[in-house]
Chain A
Amino acid sequence: MKYQDIELLRFTTAGSVDDGKSTLIGRLLYDSKSIFQDQLDAVEKSSKNKGFDYVDLSLLTDGLKSEREQGITIDVAYRYFATPKRKFIVADTPGHIQYTRNMVTGASTANLAIILIDARKGMLEQTHRHSFIASLLRIPHAIVCINKMDLVDYSEDVFNKIVADFKAFATRLSISDIQFIPISALLGDNVVNPSENMDWFKGSTLMYHLETVHISSDYNHIDCRFPIQSVIRPQTHEHRDFRGFAGRIDGGVFKVGDKVKSLPSGFVSTVKTIELNGEAITEAFAPMSITMTLADEIDNSRGDMIVRENNVPEVGQDLKVLVTWMSTTPLQARTKLVVKHTTNECLAVVKELNYKIDINTLHRIEEIQEVAMNEIAKISIRTSKPIFYDAYKKNRQTGSIIIIDEQTNETIGAGMII
């Protein structure tokens, strides 16, 4: 059955206010025929009520009451559509500076980022910011859409100038795969259907890129990492001695018969069985949720990690972290925090605030006293117990942490381990 064998692509959209982001998503949904009649009726009715003489596709994605009133998106909203080739999950994030936290949130799970630039305005500070965040969060693929080409007479020169500007800026980023496409989200040029107004553009449409970009190597399939979520012990007559470790694989390929090592105990054993939801399989890789049994009785529990004997992660208590601060209370040195990393949770203390990064220029700001909401900084923390981690650039799962306020329990920071 064809439908069941398609891949899932998660992408995020970033743009400034009025870049036409919601319109672009509306266009993708509309042209891929993912909009139902009753949704379209509702949007047509609202467009008419507002006095528009066209159907405002952005109304399809602007969800909450307050944002309908203000006409802006204020939070991460998730959208879904599918074509015969792929299923897509879109994290629609706002472009305001005060909502950096939402962009980071949307970017954290994305395979691909769409960066929108208004053809009339070219590169703006916000473009730098969005691109930097995509790079920082190690989104492997980016598509830069130069939008509103209809308002610059579909000019090739305008397009080329913006592409050159972006490329000059992108030398400082770490996104390996960047594509450029001239589009009009409002009129549909090069979104799903090729534009008849831009013969000079020889590339393919946005939808074609989304459907074909190579994503199977986006996960780390080299370094085996299996954080234990829970231990399954049925203790029934039938499964008296069953002791399975449940979790989701964060990296590498585990095979039955592999020699593995358990952290922090250091005990070595062999993979006896791998079960995927009750069915025995011979190998498993990210992002599968599995249950693993080992040949020897090892007393593992939640927060422990199973790895290969000769390929272990870093083990330590002193971490250098790039943190995005998400709380209205600024971060200061010597603050005590709760850190969540894979299936582990522990206390931590901020040893030092090293520097902030100006996300518009990427310059470092040294000798800082605090980190305010929506700022990005390099900090040094010490955890109350050793954790098993990789650098974020090596593994997005084992290299990431969230920071929680011990008093309010709010999530106040997102960190990438250097």
Chain B
Amino acid sequence: MSNYVINHLRELESEAIFVIREIAAQFENPVLLFSGGKDSILLTHLAKKAFYPAKIPFPLIHVDTGHNFPETIAFRDSLVDKLGVQLIVGSVQESIDKGRVKEETGADASRNALQIISLLDTIEEYKVDAAMGGARRDEEKARAKERFFSHRDEFGQWDPKNQRPELWNLFNGRKNYGEHFRVFPISNWTEMDVWEYIKLENIDLPSLYFSHQRDCVVRDGVILANSEFIKLKPGEEVVNMTIRYRTCGDMPITGAVKSEADDITKIIEEIATTRITERGGRADDKRAETAMEDRKKQGYF
């Protein structure tokens, strides 16, 4: 008898595809939250596989903060075009214009927190009952306890003390009117798994992930791209650096790393020897030790 084993990447892939298919089967209006980052690109790739040769049977939602990297937007549009899938854009600028949210001021102003309102507005507008995202449990302490199927009350809030237990591969997506779920099919993947899989499957990524030259500002040890969205503080200067991104959030808050890695193999080598976690470069997590948990309770991804 031959040895019936699959390797860890194929097992993670199989698990994620199972979860994505459950979402499509258990919910009426599921969507995929597309941030333009590598994790949501991976998720879109898995969704394509899950329903092949049919098209992905749900739309992608992108919450556009207005502070996105132009590369992210260009990549998003070409991907959507290639897959023939519907794209819904929720706009933070629109929420600001409508007076739904108030923009932070000052040099460290960020639209990260404002995304929550735009996201919840979009979810309500489209009567979304399941929003799947590319969050992983290894990213941050608060996410280590997140479920695959994460229940949100009618205010979109997460209650970490009252989560539904998840057993075997039986996912409970039942809910009351007005409530919705966040679902995380790649919960069990690590950053290394994501990169190994991207390489294995030859998945296209935005150019931001690869080494390039860029004008940057170093603020509190974080390398930020110089852009129209960033106000220089006294003593700060713009320096041209060779960098790449490990995550793709908003331009004013996403930290780059100095890197010469210009292809996937070099990126994997770099990660294998790196000593800083992925979110270590996110200025939004540094505000307080429990920053992520606080934002999650309010309805952040």
Contact = CB atoms under 8 A, between A and B. Distances in A.
Contacts, number: 175
B49 A77 contact: no
Given A4-B7, A400-B168, A80 B200 contact: no
A18 interface: no
A238 to B, nearest CB: 7
Contact of B14 (A75, A289, A291): A289
Nearest to A62: B141
A351 interface: no
Contacts of A51: none
B276 A80 contact: no
A77 B144 contact: yes
Nearest to B175: A409
A108 B277 CA distance: 30
B277 A38 contact: yes
B233 interface: no
A89 B8 CA distance: 11
Contact of A239 (B3, B22, B53, B165): B53
A404 B169 contact: no
Contacts of A38: 275-277, 280
Interface residues of A, number: 75
Nearest to B1: A221
Contact of A102 (B165, B274, B293): B165
Nearest to B11: A8
Given A36-B274, A414-B167, A7 B17 contact: no
A89 B188 contact: yes
A343 B25 contact: yes
A70 interface: no
A230 interface: yes
B86 interface: no
B168 A109 contact: yes
A232 B54 contact: yes
Interface in B133-170: 137-138, 141-142, 144-145, 160-161, 163-170
Contact of B53 (A101, A242, A410): A242
B174 A105 contact: no
A194 B141 CA distance: 30
A171 interface: no
A236 B11 contact: no
Interface in B13-49: 13-15, 17-18, 21-22, 24-25, 49
A55 B145 CA distance: 23
Contacts of B21: 229-230, 246-247, 289
A3 B196 CA distance: 8
Contacts of B200: 4
A105 B165 contact: yes
Contacts of A61: 144
B51 interface: yes
The 7 tightest CB contacts between A and B, nearest first, are A277-B49, A8-B8, A37-B275, A409-B174, A234-B54, A289-B17, A108-B167
